[in-house]
Structure 1
Amino acid sequence: MAYEPKRAVNNLAHEYAECAAFYTVSSKLFESQDPKLAEQMNQAAIRAIEYSQILTSEKLTDARIEMAAKSIIKDLDNEIANVSIILNKYSDRCVEAMTDPKARMDYWLMKRD
């Protein structure tokens, strides 16, 4: 059975919070090497935060972002070379979530355990 709408919305909000953390951390990583890319990632983070807050709340979004950022930083293990790890984990789904929110919502509505 597919996820009910309330669960799908919650999962999408959680995904936006993770994307916000991913874009925020990535922005910091690329700040000195590619300021333009870093600013684009920062703007994506701001939008992802807004989307997550719309779907849930500011308090829950902030907690989820903090939790995701800790996980991302742990994955990096203080090595910029490990950026591939977080790119593989987050990039595709975050790009989809940000560029085609309906497709991501459809994904969650059709998801089965």
Structure 2
Amino acid sequence: MKKLILAAVTAVVMFSTSVAAEQQKYYMETVTDPQQRAIVNIVHNEIAECVSFYIVSMVRANANANAKTAKKLNKTILRLYVRARQLHRKDVTEERIKLAQEMIYKQMDNNWKNYFLVWNEYAYHCEEVVKNPRGRIKYWVAIMPQ
């Protein structure tokens, strides 16, 4: 049942943003410098992980009949998904999101009682990804070997 809900939520998120995202070029295809490509891939992966974390959180909010939280999470998911699609191809974006969701459920041991373990790992980091995307890029540029 949980996987069915997850699949449905994921499908809605992907479908609702795919039309807008398909009409634009993604940034990765314009980058030729290997170091810049590595940074774009890292940032893209962070965004995909956060999309996955927020999808899992939205499933939890819906299960707890918390419509207000679910609506807020959905807006965040859509915004992050569009940002991810601006950086990379659709197939790469969706595969990274799928793999991150699988990893999150594995970390929870497929048990909602363990949700707060995942929350502790992702919540603050993902808040930073949402609120300060340029800061995340600057962070990776600063620590990337020259």
- Secondary structure of 1:31's counterpart equals helix
Partner of 1:31: 62
Which of 36, 46, 49 aligns to 1:18? It is 49
- Secondary structure of 1:4's counterpart equals helix
The answer to whether the aligner puts 1:54 opposite 2:61 as a matched pair is no
- Secondary structure of 2:110's counterpart equals coil
Partner of 2:26: none
Which runs of structure 2 are paired with 1:84-103 in the superposition (5 Å)?
Answer: 84-103=116-135
Aligned residue pairs total 111
The structure with the larger Rg is: 2
The answer to whether the aligner puts 1:79 opposite 2:111 as a matched pair is yes
CA deviations over 1:50-82 (Å, ceiling 9, x no partner): 111111111100000000000111112232221
Distance (whole Å) between structure 1 residues aligned to residue 47 and residue 116 of structure 2: 20
TM-score, normalised with respect to structure 1:
0.89
- Secondary structure of 1:77's counterpart equals coil
For 1:31, give the aligned amino acid. N
Distance (whole Å) between structure 1 residues aligned to residue 52 and residue 94 of structure 2: 10
Distance (whole Å) between structure 2 residues aligned to residue 78 and residue 64 of structure 1: 19
Structure with more relative contact order (C-alpha pairs < 8 Å, separation 6 or more): 1
Q: Alignment RMSD, CA only?
A: 1.6
Tell me, which stretches of 5 or more residues in structure 2 are unaligned?
Answer: 1-33
The answer to whether the aligner puts 1:7 opposite 2:44 as a matched pair is no
CA deviations over 1:12-69 (Å, ceiling 9, x no partner): 0111111111101110011142211111112211111111111111110000000000
